[in-house]
Amino acid sequence: MRTLIFRTVAPYLASLMILFSIFVLLRGHNEPGGGFIGGLIAASAFAIYGIACGVSPVRRALHFHPMAISGTGLLASTAAGMLSIFFKVPFMTGLWLDIPLFGDSIAVSTVMLFDIGVYLVVVGSITSIALALEERPNS
């Protein structure tokens, strides 16, 4: 399965898949997509890269342990829900904030923070499972 062509193409394919997963994540709260499907695409990219090049290059590319990524995502999603309590609105109510940037303003929401958290949970957990399966010796 680790042919020369696959090992050569896999890093580029994985990079494109990561970029596409971020695109799907960012458009998800307005159109179809979001954190879950974006996270699955990113985890698939890491799995393809792992099959082609091995587990240790994937771990180096991630920089963090996959379960730490998953935990950070869970924290971000929880924080998105808890922020609504501080503004005395029901739990998980979407809140919006306009941030001025170079004369324009960018609308940022807790919905996006929740989607990013879901993205990180899915990437971390699915990548952890995929790497564990790839590390297993063939029996």
Quick one: pLDDT at residue 58? 94
pLDDT at 35 over 70: yes
Expressed in angstroms, the distance from the first to the final Cα of the chain is: 17
Among 63-67, 91-95, 107-111, name the most confident range. Answer: 63-67
The pLDDT value recorded for residue 101 is: 83
Q: Please provide residue 117's backbone torsions phi and psi, each rounded to the nearest 5 degrees.
A: -60, -45
pLDDT of residue 16: 98
